[in-house]
Amino acid sequence: MTNDTPVRVLVVDDEESLRFFLVKGLRKAGYAVDAVDDGRVAIDRLARNAYDIVLTDLVMPEVSGLDVLAAVHQMDRDAVVVLMTAHGSVENAIDALRTGAYDYLRKPFELKEVLITIERGLERRSVERENRKLRFLVNHRPQDSNGHAGIASARREWERNFIADLLRQTRGNVTKAAELAKISRPNLHKKIRAYGLRPADFKAGA
């Protein structure tokens, strides 16, 4: 954590011991953390406060983690949502990834897993923000010879960063990266080579 403004995290879980574990660990790592024990309370907090990361249990009484996820998307699509799930509901968590959750953590998990997932989620958000900026430049910047060159350079830089982020998320697995990017594996291979990236460099422990 190097930013002057700490990243804000909302923890949502009805298990008191897990809330305590996450709040203590994340605050020690430099995050600003709030914690609630109910999905309905979480949605109220989200309506009144901006959070960078939302860590929410998937299965909770009355208001589930999917309800929290839906509320986040209505209020702040930039917030990174990570679901926490027990073994029996992993399949539901995977389905939730298709509706906008960034990732899921299978209970029980270690603090290191949480920190890595948060950092990767923030990196992904940064790439997506850059993508929006790039689209804005393309759609609104006056077009002249220098402008064309600048936009082309920005596109290349963004695409390289995006592909590197995909490889980082998938530990260098090109097949999974291609699925995330919704492009063909051969096309992604060409781009990886063109930008001088090495999937092996992104494997765990590399």
Instruction: Write down the domain spans for the chain.
Output: 8-119, 141-202
Q: Homologous superfamily of 8-119 in CATH?
A: Response regulator (3.40.50.2300)
Return the residue matching tokens 């897993």: 113
Task: Write the DSSP assignment of 67-100 as a string of letters.
Answer: HHHHHHHHH-TTSEEEEEE-GGGHHHHHHHHTTT
pLDDT interval class at 81 (50, 70, 90)? very high
User: Of residues 203 and 190, which shows the higher confidence score?
Assistant: 190
Q: What DSSP element (H or E) covers 28?
A: helix 16-28
Tell me the one-letter amino acid at 79. A
* pTM higher than the cut 0.85: no
37-69 pLDDT, tens digit per residue, is 999 999 999 988 889 999 999 999 889 999 999
Helices and strands, number each (H, E), in the chain? 8, 5
Domain covering 141-202 in this structure, CATH number: 1.10.10
For residue 169 the two structure tokens come to: 């998320």
Which of 5, 99, 1 is CA-nearest to residue 50?
A: 5
Q: Under a CB-based contact definition with an 8 Å cutoff, are residues 114 and 70 in contact?
A: no
pLDDT digits (tens, 9 = 90+) for 9-37: 999 999 999 999 999 999 999 999 999 99
Query: 55 forms bridges with which residues in the sheet?
Result: 11, 82
Whole-angstrom Cα distance, residue 79 to residue 48? 14
Q: What is the pLDDT of residue 149?
A: 63
